[in-house]
Amino acid sequence: MVKYIKVIGMLVLAFAIAAMTACSGASESSNGSTDGNEGQKGNKQLTIGVAVGSLANPFFVSMAKGAEEAGKELGAEVLVESAEYDLAKQAAQIENFITKKVDIILLNAVDTKGIAAAVQQAKAADIPVVAVDTNAEGGVDATVTSDNYQAGKLAGEYVIEKLDGKGKIVIIDGPPVSAVSDRIQGFEDAIKDSKIKVIGKQNGEGNREKALTVMESILQANSSGSIDAVFAINDPEAIGVEIAQEQANRKDEFFIVGVDGAPEATEAMAKEGSTIAATSAQSPSNMIKKAVEIGMKVKNGEEVEELIKVPVEIVTQDTLDSYQGW
């Protein structure tokens, strides 16, 4: 009996030792797995910081979506910030990107010159900076933009054709960035040898509400029948101008040309009686995807072109059905 009890005791002891060994092995396996996870975390996930003018503008919404699509393909985290056309706010956003140690910054500057100090800070932190849609001073590695001069020129040529080379027009300007100044330059170069006269030029700040207010003032200062066309530097402004025109009961007086090819503009153009006659269309999604590609090349030490221009096209009410859109 005693011998039997001893045998049972030995079996229990052996089982206990085996269990302890198994637990120890499981613990070591678990630790090994944890070490593996820590190793993956050690390989920091690629992070892309995207700073845009304002997400109230559908153009930048499309741009943000394009960045997220490009980031997904790379397995990258994409951080999108909207500055609401506020230079101080955008500078702070870039500083935040630097603090977070992002791998690439894609910058749609709200002020080409004013953002230079923030760009320099990013460069000092060894973060590649690619300007998108508009130039930025401070030493960016490259600039990817629509051919904004072409956008303005195509708009100007359309106005000349529609007015038979003569008439009185208004220009609704925008933020102090190269994309806007290039559009204005292209437009003015296109009409300079015509008999078209610019009778008003004011800053619509790139948004619908401000453009509406500005156009109301212009309409009050110019009697009915004195304006033949309006060139707006983007589609949100063009829509604001059309609203002001409608509210003033002057829809039969002049037509409007914008820039972007935005969904809200093309939808407006498709409506019967719309006075938005044309828009120089660009592709914000393709533009930002190209910027991601360029940023990755810079990060990997490859040489890139300083300026990459993406062509635009003029879209009119007559060609709207064939336009692919954003």
Give the C-alpha separation, 256 to 66, whole Å.
28
The 3-state DSSP composition of the chain as helix, strand, coil percent (nearest 5) reads 50, 20, 30
- pLDDT for res 9: 46
Q: Which residues contact 67 (CB under 8 A, 6 or more apart)?
A: 48, 50, 78, 80, 106, 288, 289, 292
Q: Which residues contact 279 (CB under 8 A, 6 or more apart)?
A: 235, 238, 257, 258, 259, 260, 261, 262, 265, 266, 269, 314, 315
Give the C-alpha separation, 301 to 164, whole Å.
52
pLDDT in tens, 294-320: 999 999 999 999 999 999 999 999 999
- pLDDT for res 58: 84
Give the C-alpha separation, 237 to 234, whole Å.
6
- pLDDT for res 57: 84
Residue 53 DSSP class: S
Output 35-41 pairs: Cβ under 8 A, ≥24 positions apart.
none
Give the C-alpha separation, 283 to 313, whole Å.
10
Give the C-alpha separation, 299 to 172, whole Å.
39
User: How much is the pTM?
Assistant: 0.75
Q: Say how many C-beta atoms besides its own lie within 10 A of residue 214's C-beta.
A: 23
- pLDDT for res 23: 39
Question: Rounded to 5 degrees, what are φ and ψ at 143?
Answer: -130, 125
Using alpha carbons, select from 71, 130, 74, 84 the residue that is nearest to residue 106.
Answer: 130
What string of DSSP letters covers 162-191?
Answer: HHTTEEEEEEEE--SSHHHHHHHHHHHHHH
3-state secondary structure of 133: coil
- pLDDT for res 43: 65
- pLDDT for res 243: 98
- pLDDT for res 188: 98
Size of the chain, expressed as the number of residues it contains: 326
Determine the longest span between alpha carbons in the chain, in angstroms.
122
Give the C-alpha separation, 296 to 85, whole Å.
27
Residue 27 DSSP class: H
Structure tokens, 211:
């453009």
- Per the CB < 8 A criterion, the answer to whether 208 and 181 are in contact is no
Which stretches of the chain score pLDDT less than 50?
1-42
- Per the CB < 8 A criterion, the answer to whether 257 and 274 are in contact is no
pLDDT in tens, 25-46: 333 333 333 333 333 334 679 9
Rounded to whole angstroms, what are the CA distances from 53 to 130, 164, 211, 280? 15, 36, 16, 20
3-state secondary structure of 55: coil
Structure tokens, 35:
């070490």
Give the C-alpha separation, 110 to 269, whole Å.
28
Structure tokens, 99:
């603090």
- Please say whether the dihedral angle defined by the alpha carbons of residues 192, 196, 200 and 202, taken in this order, is positive or negative: negative
